[in-house]
Amino acid sequence: MTETKLTGAAGKADQAGTAGTSGLAGNAGLDGCAPEVDYILELGVEEIPAGYFGKAVEYITERLGRELAAARLPFSRMEVWGGPRRLAMGLWGLRAQQPDVSEEVTGPPLSSAFDANGNPTRAAEGFAKGQGVPVSEIYTVTTPKGDYLAVTRKLKGKPCGEILAAAIPALLGSLPFPKTMRWGEGNFTFVRPVHWLLSVLGGEILPMEFAGMKAGRVSYGHRFLSPGAVRVSGPGEYPARLAEAHVLVSFEERRRAVLEEIRKAAGGAGSDLSPDLDPELVDEVANLVEEPAAVLGGFDSQFLDLPLVVSATAMKEHQRYFPVMDHQGRQAPAFIAVNNTRARDMDTVRRGHERVLRARLEDARFYYVDDRRTPLASRAADLDLVVFHRKLGSYAAKVERIARLASDIAQECAPEARDTAARAAALCKCDLLTGVVKEFPSLQGVMGREYALMDGEPKDVAEAISEHYLPVRAGGALPATAAGAVLALADKIDTICGCFWMNEIPTGAADPFALRRQALGAILIMLERGWRMSLESHVERAMSALGPLSGKGRNAREIRSQVLEFFNARLKTHILAQGVSPDAAEAVLSLHGSFPLASVQRAVALEGLKRREGFRDLAQTFKRVVNIIKKFGGRELPMSPGLLALPAEKALLDAVSALDNESGGYLSRGDFAGLLDRIASLKSPVDAFFEDVLVDDPDHDLKTARVALLNRTASLFELVADFSRISTA
């Protein structure tokens, strides 16, 4: 872009070369000159749910870092802390003031800037006045759209405190908490009522307000052990000052302290005791306490008659207690509770925990004993009384659909597991009617396995009942048995198809049936088992089973396409995670997305070819083939090899025919890298064809034969991907 400066009222032009600016400038030579300051922020609240911290900390780190970068305020270090009664953030080495910058502002076209006598028009004068500069400082810039008036406006950098005072309240107000609340008489909503706001920049209070609280320089310690005010001057002293007040602000530090307390409690009663250190429970407890204090408790050995999973769930989920094992790995009649306060008399604390746990175990024992009076299989008849979804009918109807779909999947992928999957399908939802599962919903499937084993069902049937819910979370375990994998796929496909059929489609804000997790889980099961199954065919079967329940006016074909697109979105995410570029993933999925395993293998092989020298020319050759097909005909033209007499077209026909004969072997072996190598060998005969053969021959039959040959060539490329979707830029 060139610049021309305007001089004087006459508007004569004086060429100034290319000395103009574009966008923001002015950072050069300023870094290191401005002073640096530290900043500490803490928001004091009532106890925040333990599961809310992770995303809040990530959000603060990402968004604030992005906003400071956009504001041209570098810093040397950021740390974000979260605890039961506080969210805090520290910045070290923050630039005290933005650098001054120059901003180029473009105005009206040059053609409207001067009258016939060369004097500035009202447009030029208005532009200069609006920018606060005389007309003499306006210049012209030449852009791809033409010549325009422009002016360089100098912007004075703002103090970092001014930027933080505006950004921090907005940041806190946008934190992504699952639930918020109102309190008092105000209309403000937040995760919990706010009690104090600490905001100190460079040792001085940075004024701001949030949720009715004005900023100060004090925090508060442990609610019981040190409830008084704690004066804080900066982030460097913040963790130590709060630790003196019995608050560990670092999650990692609290987690280490929790583990140490648990080990000390277990070792205090005998070295043969080993606590069950469930990582998720350790993390949860670490976010429930500010300074942990653990105590070892016991319970009556009669409760050891309960399945371990039942008593452990009663401890973990209801009480956040840690079960304890003996030296032989058996459950001991003991538990460890982690408290937020170290009381003077920890024996009293221990006895309180024991009383609470005994009541929980009594309830679990009652439900368990009552459940054992009715065999699992006998509960199947009552599934008709339990609603799966008000529009999709009962669990009995769902079980019937699952059984049919599982039979089809097993027939295609695991015939040896068909009978096992059929029996497991009949029993897989029966434990939803048991008292233990009603009390502990997380044990669905798990109790089905336990009760099935007690009823004498084969072990592989019992395992399939439990495994059909897997995976239960991102990165969770997948079914270990073929029957469990078959049943899990059938259940997930049925649920996804049913929800889409009833227009219960996930949105950006809500996915109440966890359909995204179920779709990804189904894909991972197919990949892990190495099943080359057609997802489309089983989706179609699942949709057919839902036919009588269809909503009025819904188009079955459209819904099926939506379901497949939903699966493809999850599959694409997985493929990208393998290091495949987006265009390669899209090129494969556009043609082969209904076969997840083969799609992943195709995409990985294609990405490998993309990185090789000469791929760009290969892709362009294919695109030329596709363009000519689009220009001269469709894809359903009959081959007429007898009309192809030129050496170049006969050579291409021979090469295509040879690869056509070999392609089945490559596909059956899943050797897409080898297939791509053979496809790449077509480039030379295709290039020779375009060099020596006129496709648009006056002879209609000959032209048709040549287009048909190109159709056949394109179909071989498309055995792997739609090369026209691959970027060659």
Return the CATH number at 430. Answer: 1.10.3210
Residue in 406, 447, 455, 453 with CA at minimum distance from that of residue 430: 447
Do 274 and 315 fall into the same domain? yes
Domain boundary among 577, 612, 633: 577
For residue 391, what pLDDT is reported? 84
Instruction: Give me the count of residues in the chain.
Output: 729
Q: Based on the number of CB atoms within 10 Å of its own CB, is 724 exposed (0-12), middle (13-18) or buried (19 or more)?
A: middle
Q: Determine the Cα–Cα distance for residues 679 and 378; give it in Å rounded to an integer.
A: 59
Q: Determine the Cα–Cα distance for residues 421 and 426; give it in Å rounded to an integer.
A: 9
Residue 356 lies in a domain: no
Q: Which residues pair with 310 in a beta bridge?
A: none
Do 7 and 107 fall into the same domain? yes
Residue 598 lies in a domain: no
Amino acid at 174: S
Per residue, the 3-state secondary structure of 448-499, as one string, reads HHHHHHHCCCCHHHHHHHHHCCCCCCCCCCCCCCHHHHHHHHHHHHHHHHHH
Do 617 and 660 fall into the same domain? yes
Do 93 and 106 fall into the same domain? no
Residue 463 lies in a domain: yes
Q: Which residue has the tokens 């950072």?
A: 27
For residue 20, what pLDDT is reported? 28
Do 52 and 80 fall into the same domain? yes
Do 309 and 194 fall into the same domain? no
Q: Determine the Cα–Cα distance for residues 128 and 113; give it in Å rounded to an integer.
A: 11
What is the total count of domains within the chain? 5
Q: Determine the Cα–Cα distance for residues 508 and 537; give it in Å rounded to an integer.
A: 28
pLDDT tens digits along 234-246 = 999 999 999 999 9
pLDDT tens digits along 402-425 = 999 999 999 999 999 999 999 999
For residue 679, what pLDDT is reported? 94
Whole-Å CA distances, 588 to 225, 289, 570, 694, 719: 61, 50, 14, 31, 9
Residues (pLDDT < 50) of the chain are 1-33, 550
Return the CATH number at 688. Answer: 1.10.730.10
Residue 352 lies in a domain: no
Structure tokens that stand for 496 in this block? 């996804």
The total of other beta-carbon atoms located within 10 Å of residue 411's CB is 11
Domain boundary among 218, 244, 270: 244
Do 281 and 318 fall into the same domain? yes
Do 90 and 72 fall into the same domain? yes
Residue 616 lies in a domain: yes
For residue 630, what pLDDT is reported? 84
Answer for the pair 79, 89: CB distance below 8 angstroms, yes or no.
yes
Fill in the DSSP letter of residue 190: B
Do 445 and 461 fall into the same domain? yes
Residue 289 lies in a domain: yes
pTM, entire model: 0.79
Do 15 and 45 fall into the same domain? no
Residue 61 lies in a domain: yes
Per residue, the 3-state secondary structure of 332-374, as one string, reads EEEEEEEECCCCCCHHHHHHHHHHHHHHHHHHHHHHHHHHCCC
Do 25 and 130 fall into the same domain? yes
Contact residues for 216 (Cβ-Cβ < 8 A; gap 6+): 196, 197, 198, 199, 205
Answer for the pair 336, 266: CB distance below 8 angstroms, yes or no.
yes
For residue 485, what pLDDT is reported? 98
Q: Determine the Cα–Cα distance for residues 485 and 491; give it in Å rounded to an integer.
A: 10
For residue 103, what pLDDT is reported? 80
Please give the residue range of the domain that contains residue 310. 251-345
Residue 366 lies in a domain: no
Residue in 369, 376, 372, 368 with CA at minimum distance from that of residue 461: 376
Domain boundary among 206, 229, 244: 244
Do 169 and 133 fall into the same domain? no
